[in-house]
């Protein structure tokens, strides 16, 4: 037996001993128990717990509802009286109380009052000054509150932190966390015993991912324990290398009733498929091989307008999107779909010189529909798709093989689909390599229950920009990153392909123009149709989506074009504003980090401008009396790349998100006028 194997056995023995010696804890930590409600009338009863400094839980609360004017009532006098204040009910309302039958309810004291500021809570009739039931808080009472413990120990890989905080029974905060990210197979790791050991288990990082940790530099993060796990189920948290069984830094987790209980719940998905792997805290994969076919189930906490893509990698020994063969699963009203897609490049499916390339359904690239949807469910925010296909290549050159005798390298993604039911750029995807042995001899269920009650961590978008200045009549149109929820999606409300127009260096600003004037667009969106990802002729239209080249003849009849497209005698379109490519590109190895930046200027400063040889195209446009009040600058080839042009009779600079942008040869100055503050932002262009 090797030294590592002996260490693993010893760790398991130690964990077993800790489980036997551990005192029995309640199945669910409810907070600090205060006592039973004293009953005086109307059958009022229940058990009261302090959740935190501001919140009270009444378990199994009963009240017959027959009182005429009864409320939750709190005060600081010696005993309950009409000197007090109403405590809103579990819905935050101050209506008179309705009947309750053994219900668990959470009460939040109003105006950020603390529980320590009151002496009692009563069910009180304001009209009759009658007390139906009450509970007294003991003198010197200390409600549960986040507990500061200690810093992570410093044992390697640059790990260090500020003082770790147990926020509640499922949440651990690590302030000012450092990790150099130079070692692979390293995770947040929890378990039992006096010190970290190999018998622990990895938990998701702050974004729900289960892959090896990347670099952290003075970042404050919050970890949510998965499934039913709470801090009472673990003794330590470690930054742990699974390959070498090395602890790079750890902290001991204390227990106690003074830790606030989490308000998060858990949800178990029932399935007949025996194998399960957790791909993300919000996504599970289940499967079963039956003869020459495989049944797959994707279970995810997704919105109704989101898709889950899953399939075989485009590389034989790594997870790679380009070249992948995937099923894109999504809801369409009362139906579900699992559509076979071939990913030949990182852009929406486009007809490139008579041949479709990009993220395309197999049927568009002369392939076959290999996936068959069997059933689907959606309940409590969790959506399940069960579908099937054959293990081997079914006479389709684009289809990869599910290997039943070894590892299959995989890819997956979650994102929104657009109005055409096409997948847009994904917001959640694997950060490392994923491989699974689908034909393993013994079935394994390595999934945990979904966490419920969490608000999806979508960041607030950057304030939208407006170019509104009489002096500005020239716009430089370049391509750059869409910047996810902070950027294009948050500003426009649409999901995009990953690239967006940058006008005068600003991400999809709202442009204000004046009727009767001529405006010049210097277009640098790419003029090489062989490079479909960066081939974006500019045009102006009344279509919110754009992408004129992708529309059918019938669809083209319902949109108008104001500039940027010429038509021959037969009505065939040809873009007229395709200039050289100048693109704002990421300057780091981890591209999709826009959500980390509080402002757009800080994000823009991380990009670099990369230009091909050649000249920009020049598009001149003169809006007139017949031009609608709102039109859009768009990409001829790709939907949802641009945004609004507001057409007015006269430009009046006033208050707004951006009142004007002054363009000089070296910089753009944005005057941001708020009701009581003028903030000047400078963004260097070159």
505: left (phi over 0), alpha (psi -120 to 50) or beta: left
pLDDT tops 90 at residue 27: no
Residues 638 and 561 in one domain: yes
End-to-end alpha carbon distance in the chain: 62
pLDDT bin (cut points 50, 70, 90) of residue 458 is: confident
- As a whole number, the mean pLDDT across the chain is 88
Task: Establish if 563 belongs to a structural domain.
Answer: yes
pLDDT tops 90 at residue 357: no
What is the arrangement of strands in the sheet containing 434-437, beginning at the earlier edge strand? 359-361, 335-343, 325-332, 306-312, 407-416, 434-437
Task: Establish if 49 belongs to a structural domain.
Answer: yes
pLDDT tops 80 at residue 23: no
Residues 71 and 13 in one domain: no
DSSP 43: T
Q: What is the pLDDT of residue 252?
A: 97
Residues 224 and 357 in one domain: no
pLDDT bin (cut points 50, 70, 90) of residue 394 is: low
Q: What is the pLDDT of residue 353?
A: 75
Q: Tens digit of pLDDT for each residue in 279-305?
A: 999 999 999 999 999 999 999 999 999
pLDDT tops 80 at residue 6: no
In the listed set 107, 136, 165, which residue is the last one of a domain according to the structure? 136
Residues 516 and 595 in one domain: yes
Residue ranges making up the domain that contains 516: 466-684
**Residue 107 token pair:** 């009460």
pLDDT bin (cut points 50, 70, 90) of residue 676 is: very low
Strand (E) positions, 64-127? 70-75, 85-87, 100-108, 120-125
Q: What is the pLDDT of residue 356?
A: 86
pLDDT bin (cut points 50, 70, 90) of residue 518 is: very high
**Residue 83 token pair:** 């000197």
Task: Give burial (CB, 10 Å; 0-12/13-18/19+) of 137.
Answer: buried
Percent of the residues in the chain that have a pLDDT greater than 90, as a whole number: 74
DSSP letters for 345-391: SSSB-EEETTEEESEEEGGGGT-----EEEEEEEETTEEEEEEEEES
pLDDT bin (cut points 50, 70, 90) of residue 395 is: low
Calculated CA dihedral for residues 134, 137, 138, 142, nearest 10 degrees = 160
Residues 343 and 204 in one domain: no
Q: What is the pLDDT of residue 396?
A: 63
- Distance set, CA 528 to CA 53, 575, 578, 581, 637 (Å): 62, 12, 9, 8, 12
Residues 491 and 627 in one domain: yes
Q: What is the pLDDT of residue 28?
A: 64
pLDDT tops 70 at residue 670: no
Contact 152, 239 (CB under 8 A): yes
Residues 438 and 507 in one domain: no
C-alpha span between 147 and 455 (Å, rounded): 23
Bridge partners, 609 (sequence order): 584
Q: Tens digit of pLDDT for each residue in 180-191?
A: 999 999 999 999
Contact 521, 619 (CB under 8 A): yes
C-alpha span between 568 and 169 (Å, rounded): 69
Contact 460, 290 (CB under 8 A): no
pLDDT tops 50 at residue 657: no
C-alpha span between 278 and 291 (Å, rounded): 25
pLDDT bin (cut points 50, 70, 90) of residue 392 is: confident
Which of 363-367, 577-581, 634-638, 644-648 is predicted with the least confidence, judged by mean pLDDT?
363-367
pLDDT bin (cut points 50, 70, 90) of residue 351 is: confident
Residues 439 and 292 in one domain: yes
Residues 230 and 281 in one domain: no
What sign does the dihedral 599-605-606-610 (CA atoms) show? positive
Calculated CA dihedral for residues 59, 60, 65, 66, nearest 10 degrees = -120
Residue with structure tokens 């091989």? Answer: 289
In the listed set 423, 452, 481, which residue is the last one of a domain according to the structure? 452
pTM, rounded to two decimals: 0.82
Task: Establish if 265 belongs to a structural domain.
Answer: no
**What is the rounded average pLDDT of the residues 201-230?**
95
In the listed set 424, 452, 480, which residue is the last one of a domain according to the structure? 452
CATH number of the domain at 414, please: 2.60.40.1210
pLDDT tops 70 at residue 684: no
Q: What is the pLDDT of residue 447?
A: 97
Task: Establish if 122 belongs to a structural domain.
Answer: yes
Q: Tens digit of pLDDT for each residue in 189-199?
A: 999 999 999 99
Count structural domains, the chain.
4
pLDDT bin (cut points 50, 70, 90) of residue 665 is: very low
pLDDT bin (cut points 50, 70, 90) of residue 25 is: very low
pLDDT tops 70 at residue 675: no
C-alpha span between 351 and 358 (Å, rounded): 9
Percent of the residues in the chain that have a pLDDT greater than 70, as a whole number: 89
Residues 127 and 169 in one domain: no
Q: Tens digit of pLDDT for each residue in 414-446?
A: 999 888 888 988 889 998 899 999 999 999 999
**Residue 277 token pair:** 């792997």
Q: What is the pLDDT of residue 58?
A: 97
Q: What is the pLDDT of residue 656?
A: 43
Residues 387 and 293 in one domain: yes
Bridge partners, 662 (sequence order): 669
Task: Give burial (CB, 10 Å; 0-12/13-18/19+) of 449.
Answer: middle
Task: Establish if 263 belongs to a structural domain.
Answer: no
Task: Establish if 523 belongs to a structural domain.
Answer: yes
**Residue 486 token pair:** 């902070």
Residues 240 and 325 in one domain: no
pLDDT tops 70 at residue 408: yes
Contact 425, 482 (CB under 8 A): yes
Task: Establish if 321 belongs to a structural domain.
Answer: yes
- Distance set, CA 646 to CA 126, 271, 492 (Å): 57, 52, 14
Task: Establish if 261 belongs to a structural domain.
Answer: no
Where is pLDDT greater, at 679 or 444? 444
Contact 450, 282 (CB under 8 A): yes
């Amino acid at each position: 037996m090797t030294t590592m194997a002996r260490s693993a056995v010893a760790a398991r023995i130690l964990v077993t001993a800790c489980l036997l010696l551990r005192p029995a804890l309640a199945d669910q930590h409810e907070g600090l128990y205060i006592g039973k409600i004293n009953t005086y009338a109307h059958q009022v009863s229940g058990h009261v717990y302090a959740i935190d400094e501001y919140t009270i839980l009444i378990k199994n609360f009963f009240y017959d509802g027959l009182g005429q004017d009864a409320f939750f009532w709190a005060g600081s006098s010696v005993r309950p009286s009409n000197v007090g204040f109403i405590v809103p009910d579990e819905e935050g309302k101050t209506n008179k109380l309705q009947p309750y039958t053994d219900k668990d309810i959470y009460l939040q004291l109003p105006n950020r009052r603390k529980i320590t500021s009151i002496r009692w809570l009563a069910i009180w009739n304001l009209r009759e000054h009658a007390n139906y039931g009450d509970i007294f808080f003991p003198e010197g009472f200390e409600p549960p509150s986040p507990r500061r413990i200690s810093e992570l120990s410093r044992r390697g890989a640059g790990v260090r932190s500020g003082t770790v905080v147990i926020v509640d029974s499922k949440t651990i905060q690590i302030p000012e966390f450092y990790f150099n990210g130079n070692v692979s197979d390293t995770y947040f790791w929890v378990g039992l015993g006096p010190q970290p050991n190999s018998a622990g288990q990895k938990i998701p990082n702050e974004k729900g991912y289960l892959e090896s940790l990347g670099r952290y530099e003075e970042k404050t993060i919050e970890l949510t324990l998965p499934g039913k796990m709470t801090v009472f189920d673990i003794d330590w948290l470690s930054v742990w290398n699974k390959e070498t069984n090395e602890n790079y830094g750890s902290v001991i987790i204390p227990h106690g009733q003074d830790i606030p209980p989490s308000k998060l719940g858990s949800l178990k998905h029932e399935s007949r498929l025996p194998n399960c792997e957790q791909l993300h805290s919000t996504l599970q994969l289940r499967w079963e091989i039956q003869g020459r076919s495989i049944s797959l189930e994707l279970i995810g906490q997704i919105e109704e307008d989101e898709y889950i893509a899953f399939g075989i990698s485009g590389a034989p020994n790594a997870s790679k999107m380009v070249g992948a063969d995937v099923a894109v699963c999504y809801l369409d009203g009362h139906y579900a779909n699992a559509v076979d897609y071939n990913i030949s490049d990182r852009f929406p499916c486009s007809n490139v010189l008579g041949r479709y390339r990009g993220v395309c359904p197999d049927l568009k690239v002369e392939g076959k529909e290999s996936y068959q949807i069997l059933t689907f469910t959606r309940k409590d925010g969790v959506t399940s798709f069960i579908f099937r296909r054959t293990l081997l290549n079914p006479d389709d050159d684009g289809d990869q093989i599910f290997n039943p005798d070894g590892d299959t390298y995989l890819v997956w993604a979650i994102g929104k689909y657009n109005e055409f039911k096409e997948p847009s750029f994904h917001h959640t995807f694997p950060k490392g390599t994923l491989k699974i042995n689908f034909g393993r001899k013994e079935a394994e269920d390595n999934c945990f229950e979904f966490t419920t009650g969490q608000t999806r961590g979508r960041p607030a978008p950057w304030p939208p920009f407006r170019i509104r200045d009489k002096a500005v009549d020239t716009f430089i149109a370049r391509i750059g990153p869409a910047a996810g929820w902070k950027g294009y999606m948050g500003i426009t409300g649409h999901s995009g392909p990953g690239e967006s127009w940058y006008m005068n260096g600003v991400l999809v600003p709202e442009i204000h123009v004046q009727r009767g004037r001529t405006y010049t667009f210097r277009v640098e969106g790419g003029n090489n149709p062989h490079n479909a990802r960066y081939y974006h002729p500019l045009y102006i239209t009344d279509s919110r989506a754009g992408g004129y080249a992708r529309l059918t003849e019938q669809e083209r009849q319902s949109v108008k074009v104001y500039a940027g497209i010429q038509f021959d005698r037969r009505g065939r379109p040809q873009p007229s504003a395709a200039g050289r490519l100048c693109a704002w590109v990421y300057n780091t190895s981890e591209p999709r980090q826009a959500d980390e930046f509080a402002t757009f200027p800080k994000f823009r400063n991380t990009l670099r401008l990369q230009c091909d040889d050649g000249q920009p195209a020049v598009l001149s446009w003169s809006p007139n009396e017949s031009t609608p009040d709102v039109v859009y600058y768009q990409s001829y080839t790709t939907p949802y790349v641009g945004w609004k042009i507001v057409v007015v009779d006269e430009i009046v600079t006033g208050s707004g998100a951006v009142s004007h942008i002054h363009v000089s040869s070296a910089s753009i100055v944005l005057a941001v006028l708020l009701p009581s503050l003028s903030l000047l932002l400078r963004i260097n262009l070159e």
